[in-house]
């Protein structure tokens, strides 16, 4: 059966260890991967592709659609399977030809894979999220449109290891992997907002923090809600448009967050000041940006052990060049 060819080739994908932030954020696996293109028709005849997609997916096959332009003509393509080994993809192409009468060829699969160590992998296609666990493959979530798939955020796993959360199509969603249930936790404040936000679970799994905007000159605030979507409220930031929260991380063992907040407008800023805030909204300034000395904390920082590691950006007097110095500070001074 084709399903065996698909799953068998995928089951041995090597796990990738998660990063220093902890197990709640997946590690990206860059590939290369391979797939089998089995149909390519003019977009005006895409119903044929969609029927084949529905049929193969209903029988347990990982399939997805791609749009392409050839000589200024729009095409819809159907691809099947997901493999790390090209030879396995070629074997799948033969099986598709012999068992299904579908004549295809092997090509690279430009799909995102989120690896949660030994637990499972999640594959994002333009149509669906797929769960790969212990050789078993099943669809988790179907995107309503190609545009919705493009807004899918990084997948975050809860401390229980059986619940994930992600942002998609101006919503934050939670999926219980054991019950196979999907819950909408929050919706964006504008239909125009892509809402491809950063989100992360608290260490105890009872809260989810997230940023409500991602954009070059958009005000962005840090929000907190319970893991069931209740008590959704702003924890840091303002709606004046003067500042934006640019990044955040949870304290590894306490209900506190660290975040970088700085100017919204302008093409020079690379970060801002580093803060700590608890769930009651009490905020402490840890490392300030200094206008007189032309320094900022860079938006990317990490937590390892009992230390927080960050970089200071130093601008020259004309704001044409930047030099960086690396700093560390204790998490609990």
**Tokens found for residue 39:** 């149909």
Residue 16 predicted with pLDDT over 60: no
Q: Bigger pLDDT: 15 or 47?
A: 47
Structure confidence at residue 192 (pLDDT): 52
Structure confidence at residue 26 (pLDDT): 55
Please, what is the Cα angle at 280 between 276 and 281, to 5 degrees?
50
Domain boundaries, the chain: 151-330
Using CA atoms, how far apart are residues 33 and 117, in angstroms rounded to an integer? Answer: 18
Structure confidence at residue 196 (pLDDT): 62
**Residue 276: strand pairing partners:** 258, 284
Q: What is the mean pLDDT of residues 132-161?
A: 85
Q: Bigger pLDDT: 145 or 42?
A: 42
| Predicted model pTM | 0.82
Residue 72 predicted with pLDDT over 80: yes
Residue 264 predicted with pLDDT over 80: no
Q: Bigger pLDDT: 37 or 211?
A: 37
Residue 87 predicted with pLDDT over 90: yes
Average pLDDT, the chain: 84
Structure confidence at residue 11 (pLDDT): 29
Q: Which residues of 24-58 are buried (b: 16+ CB within 10 A; e: fewer)?
A: bbbbebeeebbbbbbbeeeeeebeebeebbeebbe
Asked if 109 contacts 23 with a C-beta cutoff of 8 angstroms, the reply is: no
Using CA atoms, how far apart are residues 24 and 204, in angstroms rounded to an integer? Answer: 11
**Could you please report the per-residue DSSP string of 81-150?**
EEESSHHHHHHHHHHIIIII----EEEE---EEEE-TTS-EEEE-SSEEEEEETTEEEEEEE-SSHHHHH
DSSP letter assigned to residue 160: T
Structure confidence at residue 266 (pLDDT): 64
At 161 the three-state DSSP class reads coil
Residue 190 predicted with pLDDT over 70: no
pLDDT tens by residue, 218-231: 678 899 999 999 99
Residue 280 predicted with pLDDT over 70: yes
Q: Range with the lowest mean pLDDT among 141-150, 165-174, 197-206?
A: 141-150
Q: Please provide the distance, in angstroms rounded to a whole number, between the alpha carbons at the two ends of the chain.
A: 60
* Long-range CB contact pairs, 44-51, < 8 A, 24+: 45/76, 46/76, 49/76, 49/77, 49/78
Q: What is the mean pLDDT of residues 132-146?
A: 85
Angle formed by the axes of helices 86-95 and 2-10, nearest 10°: 170
Backbone angles phi, psi at 9, to 5 degrees: -75, -25
Q: What is the mean pLDDT of residues 132-153?
A: 83
pLDDT tens by residue, 23-38: 345 555 667 889 999 9
pLDDT tens by residue, 239-259: 777 788 999 999 999 999 999
Structure confidence at residue 118 (pLDDT): 77
Using CA atoms, how far apart are residues 82 and 117, in angstroms rounded to an integer? Answer: 19
Q: Range with the lowest mean pLDDT among 3-12, 162-171, 238-247, 272-281?
A: 3-12
CATH dotted code for 151-330: 2.40.128.660
């Amino acid at each position: 059966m084709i399903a065996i060819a698909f799953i068998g080739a995928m089951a041995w994908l090597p796990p990738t260890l998660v990063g220093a932030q902890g197990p709640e954020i997946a590690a990206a696996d860059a590939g290369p991967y391979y797939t089998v293109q089995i149909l390519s028709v003019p977009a005006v005849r895409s119903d044929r592709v969609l029927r084949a997609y529905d049929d193969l997916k209903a029988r347990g096959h990982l399939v997805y659609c791609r749009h392409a332009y050839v000589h200024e003509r729009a095409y819809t393509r159907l691809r099947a399977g997901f493999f790390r080994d090209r030879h396995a993809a070629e074997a799948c192409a033969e099986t598709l030809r012999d068992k299904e009468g579908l004549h295809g060829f092997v090509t690279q699969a430009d799909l995102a894979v989120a690896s949660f160590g030994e637990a499972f992998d999640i594959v994002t296609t333009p149509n669906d999220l797929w769960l790969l666990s212990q050789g078993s493959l099943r669809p988790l979530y179907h995107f309503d449109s190609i545009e919705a798939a493009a807004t899918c955020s990084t997948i975050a796993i809860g401390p229980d290891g059986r619940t994930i959360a992600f942002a998609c199509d101006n919503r934050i969603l939670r999926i219980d992997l054991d019950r196979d249930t999907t819950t909408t936790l929050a919706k964006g404040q504008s239909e125009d907002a892509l809402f491809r936000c950063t989100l992360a679970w608290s260490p105890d799994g009872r809260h989810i923090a997230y940023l409500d905007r991602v954009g070059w000159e958009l005000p962005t605030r840090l929000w907190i809600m319970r893991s069931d979507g209740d008590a959704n409220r702003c924890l840091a930031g303002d709606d004046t448009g003067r500042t934006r929260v640019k990044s955040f991380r949870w304290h590894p063992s306490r209900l506190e967050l660290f975040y970088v907040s700085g100017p919204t407008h302008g093409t020079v800023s690379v970060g801002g000041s580093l803060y700590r805030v608890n769930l009651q909204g009490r905020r402490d300034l840890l490392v300030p940006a200094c206008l007189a000395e032309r320094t900022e904390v860079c938006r990317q920082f990490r937590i390892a052990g009992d230390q927080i590691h960050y970089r200071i950006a130093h601008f020259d007097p004309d704001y044409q060049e930047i030099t960086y110095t690396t700093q560390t500070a204790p998490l609990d001074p």
